[in-house]
A and B are shown apart, each in its own frame.
Chain A
């Protein structure tokens, strides 16, 4: 006997939608607060410290933006794929391959003029990430393979391949046996603008560009149509294979560019861990922004505030890392489940409406 049932909602009034979201945020704050209290910390102080830790000074703001930049660009890439209902779980791998391609350029042409070298690295990264996304896109378009598994597996291939390079043929002979790729020359490092690497400008520009692409271009529209219904797209005479492949080249290319930015501006070399789970985090941020490029900018900044604030309270309040992660987890859990309640109506069938377990 089922004691509850799910029904997909038709359309939900904007007012009610926002109410559900606000309730979710309030609940998550309450729940996280309770956990913080249980652990012996003051909830309001902790939340205050998270905000202060992310925005309270120029140093902290810089750290927040540094975390938001790669997340934003990766999220844009994921949005394009998801809009098409192509479940690109392969952001990690595309980031790695982008970083790898950029590193091939950076390590082989260390003395190229800075601007030209960086441009070549960027192009290489977009191609590298794009090609890594092209493989599953090609097989999906031609043979209807499952892209979720395909892209997921390609992550491990990419990461393990870079690990192999780092431990094997690319190991810096000057590192005394430690598995590390040689550092880039200064020419291959992105310049700073206002005390921050130029990635933040790239992220802003790309956000606008992808927003325009998705909403005001024919190709962008076609991507949405393929996502809504392949049959509709076919009736309209669209070349579905070409749309899937083009969109995935852009999606993977953006992830690849993230890899180049992280390798160039942050690590200043190639490391197998530089994707740092961003390909997965971006899936969350893409959902939270409801696949809207402009919204994703704000979601990613909010997420970066949480990341930096969480890192900060570990140090300022000596809260264990696990607790900071848990606060993030609780917030995400509630906000993501509110999206579920926006799409489905849950009705309970109790004999007596009493005691919800």
Chain B
């Protein structure tokens, strides 16, 4: 794995060279005394066409907003192991970073340790659940809302009534997304089923594509994903099927398959939070941004989505933006037939994040 990476990096270096020469960015050293240094740690490349690129879009929006008031430093391809994360963060702190933003779940324990070791530095962690009351907090978003909407599109557009889902791990966050997608699809098409393949990695382009191909071979005609790359979208395009992406608007990458994608707007959280940290008014919190907050959303639906489908989706979207629509409303059964949300019950954030089941109509397996 690492060997391949090294070989790849040598090949890629020419591409980097071109990119750097053209953009003319040569390691900005324009230090101003008042600038607050903010370090961002990514688990993959900032141009990975997915997760980290979405994170980096947020970073660039932050840079644009603050201008000279902050200096950002970025570390890419940091492995989800303590040694790698701590070493990266410590190097950033050594460079004067006062705020460290870790953007992958697997960074959590390392950030937790660092928060104790460096009380003067503030640590923000995306997607985790640990925090303290001084300098460590976490943030995430109600991805179930746009996932539900994307499920509606898939439910309305499928011909085979079989939807495919390429998923990372059987982890709560992923299960929530799968269930929201399935419920959205079933709300408009009760016959629809969702087949899930877990690839046991957040970022494994070859495996992601292979998993999508196996789902397509089983008769799924719309593929969606909870993993990094555009692989599943490309697999769908090659098979003449449709795809709902994740993280980024990939309408240019897979123009013949891409319908839409649930996306993040990280700057909606980062800008006000960094502002508070600089002002000294920051108090750790566990942030959960919704569509109402603008933190999560649906990428524009492409021209592949028929107008009547768009209308139905937009009607629900409006309710979500107004904050009047809940995704998990009882009765909901799991795929074993047990009632998991009772009639008349609505899951709040705490309830949603206890989810360890898949809803009726969903089947999951490891790849």
Flag whether B73 is at the interface (Cβ < 8 A). yes
Q: Are A314 and B6 in contact (CB under 8 A)?
A: no
Interface string of B10-46 (1 = CB under 8 A from A): 1011001100110011111100000000010000000
Interface size of A in residues (CB-CB distance below 8 Å): 45
Q: Are B82 and A268 in contact (CB under 8 A)?
A: yes
Q: Are A323 and B169 in contact (CB under 8 A)?
A: no
Flag whether B172 is at the interface (Cβ < 8 A). yes
Query: Which residues 54-85 of A have a CB within 8 angstroms of B?
Result: 57, 59-60, 62-63, 66-67
A130 vs B353: C-alpha distance in the bound complex, in angstroms?
44
Partner of A321, one of B24, B27, B77, B93: B77
Partner of B74, one of A262, A318, A325: A318
Report chain A residues within 8 Å CB of B24: 40
B interface bracket (residues with beta carbon within 8 Å of A):
35 or more
Known: A63-B91, A266-B83. A277 touches B171 (CB 8 A): no
A266 vs B175: C-alpha distance in the bound complex, in angstroms?
31
Flag whether B64 is at the interface (Cβ < 8 A). no
- Give the distance to chain B from A73, nearest Cβ to Cβ, in Å: 15
A330's nearest neighbour on chain B, judged by CB, is B10
Q: Are A63 and B90 in contact (CB under 8 A)?
A: yes
Can you pick out 16 interface pairs between chain A and chain B where the beta carbons lie within 8 Å of each other? A40-B24, A53-B91, A60-B91, A63-B90, A63-B91, A177-B171, A177-B356, A277-B2, A308-B87, A315-B75, A315-B91, A315-B95, A316-B95, A318-B28, A318-B74, A320-B76
Interface string of A182-214 (1 = CB under 8 A from B): 010000000000000000000000000000000
A316 vs B95: C-alpha distance in the bound complex, in angstroms?
7
B74's nearest neighbour on chain A, judged by CB, is A318
The majority secondary structure among interface residues of chain A is helix
Report chain B residues within 8 Å CB of A57: 94
A186 vs B227: C-alpha distance in the bound complex, in angstroms?
34
A329 vs B200: C-alpha distance in the bound complex, in angstroms?
31
Taking Cβ atoms with an 8 Å cutoff, the residues of B that contact A are: 1-3, 5-6, 9-10, 12-13, 16-17, 20-21, 24-29, 39, 73-77, 79-84, 86-88, 90-95, 105-106, 109, 129, 169-172, 174-175, 200, 353, 356
A326 vs B97: C-alpha distance in the bound complex, in angstroms?
26
Taking Cβ atoms with an 8 Å cutoff, the residues of A that contact B are: 35, 38-41, 53, 57, 59-60, 62-63, 66-67, 167, 176-179, 183, 262, 266-268, 271, 273-274, 276-277, 280, 308, 311-312, 314-323, 325-326, 329
Report chain B residues within 8 Å CB of A35: 13
Report chain A residues within 8 Å CB of B21: 39-40
Known: A40-B21, A321-B9, A329-B6. A315 touches B88 (CB 8 A): yes
Q: Are A319 and B9 in contact (CB under 8 A)?
A: no
Report chain A residues within 8 Å CB of B79: 273, 276
Q: Are A274 and B90 in contact (CB under 8 A)?
A: no
A39 vs B14: C-alpha distance in the bound complex, in angstroms?
9
Report chain A residues within 8 Å CB of B82: 266-268
Report chain B residues within 8 Å CB of A60: 91, 94
- Give the distance to chain A from B200, nearest Cβ to Cβ, in Å: 6
A308 vs B106: C-alpha distance in the bound complex, in angstroms?
22
A178 vs B24: C-alpha distance in the bound complex, in angstroms?
41
- Give the distance to chain A from B114, nearest Cβ to Cβ, in Å: 12
Partner of B26, one of A40, A63, A280, A316: A40
Report chain B residues within 8 Å CB of A271: 81
A57's nearest neighbour on chain B, judged by CB, is B94
- Give the distance to chain A from B28, nearest Cβ to Cβ, in Å: 7
- Give the distance to chain B from A37, nearest Cβ to Cβ, in Å: 11
A-B pairs with lowest CB-CB distance, top 3: A322-B9, A317-B27, A177-B171
- Give the distance to chain A from B291, nearest Cβ to Cβ, in Å: 24
Known: A40-B21, A280-B3. A176 touches B87 (CB 8 A): no
Report chain B residues within 8 Å CB of A277: 1-3
Partner of A315, one of B5, B25, B39: B39
Report chain A residues within 8 Å CB of B25: 40, 318
- Give the distance to chain A from B225, nearest Cβ to Cβ, in Å: 18
Report chain A residues within 8 Å CB of B105: 178
A31 vs B129: C-alpha distance in the bound complex, in angstroms?
47
- Give the distance to chain A from B246, nearest Cβ to Cβ, in Å: 18
A282 vs B76: C-alpha distance in the bound complex, in angstroms?
25
- Give the distance to chain A from B354, nearest Cβ to Cβ, in Å: 9
- Give the distance to chain A from B153, nearest Cβ to Cβ, in Å: 27
A41 vs B20: C-alpha distance in the bound complex, in angstroms?
10
A262 vs B86: C-alpha distance in the bound complex, in angstroms?
13
